[in-house]
Amino acid sequence: MLKNTVIWRKEFGIESLLEEDLGTELNKVVVSHGVDKEGHTVCYNVFGEFQNKELYQNTLADEKKWKKFLKWRIQFLEKSFRKLDFSPTGINTIVQVNDLKNSPLITKKELRLATRQAVQLLQDNYPEFVARQVFINVPWWYFAFYSLLSPFMTQRTKSKFVFSRSTEALFK
């Protein structure tokens, strides 16, 4: 796995990606802010922002645009991970909060494809960087969507997921 990740990082151009200007359009979609009660940096993914037609058209309307979205997302994660503390007693994982309120995920093919590819990239190349994936405001259809994605995830990855139809999970 490590060998494959090293090859992927070189092919993907991670070091040069950090210097690329990929715009600020997605700064409302993914935000890193604060820490949880255990000290993990918290990254918020607000999928409802993709209801904004202009944002969706500019970032995910076709394959070229959603590939740029993936680059932006990887760049964001790389910058976040470089701030982690890898000392023996340090906090070296993050918590991701995925807000699915008003998410158009079920109706937007490109968003589904980009999400699926992002999940695969994260699982394959960023193992153990995420302490917990918290999904809030989960609509009924997401459970069906998750059942389609879950066969492609390891049991360890799935064990990190928390689902809540409200924001209650955040308080725990």
Tens-of-pLDDT digits for all 172 residues of the chain? Answer: 889 999 999 999 999 999 999 988 888 899 999 999 999 999 999 988 988 889 888 888 888 888 888 899 899 989 998 889 999 999 999 999 999 898 876 677 777 777 778 878 887 888 788 899 899 998 887 888 788 888 988 888 889 888 888 887 777 7
**What is the pLDDT at residue 31?**
92
Q: How many CB atoms lie within 10 A of CB 94?
A: 23
**What is the pLDDT at residue 47?**
87
Compute the Cα dihedral for 168, 140, 128, 130 and give only its sign.
Answer: negative
**What is the pLDDT at residue 60?**
83
Q: State the Cα–Cα distance between residues 136 and 155, nearest whole angstrom.
A: 21
**What is the pLDDT at residue 124?**
86
Which helix (DSSP H) or strand (DSSP E) does residue 95 occupy? strand 94-99
**What is the pLDDT at residue 105?**
65
Sequence-ordered list of residues with C-beta below 8 angstroms from that of 44, at least 6 positions apart, any chain: 30, 31, 32, 33, 96, 97, 99
Rg (C-alpha) for the chain, rounded Å, is 16
**What is the pLDDT at residue 39?**
93
What is the model's pTM? 0.83
**What is the pLDDT at residue 165?**
86
**What is the pLDDT at residue 106?**
63
In 36-93 the beta strands, taken as DSSP E runs, fall at 41-46
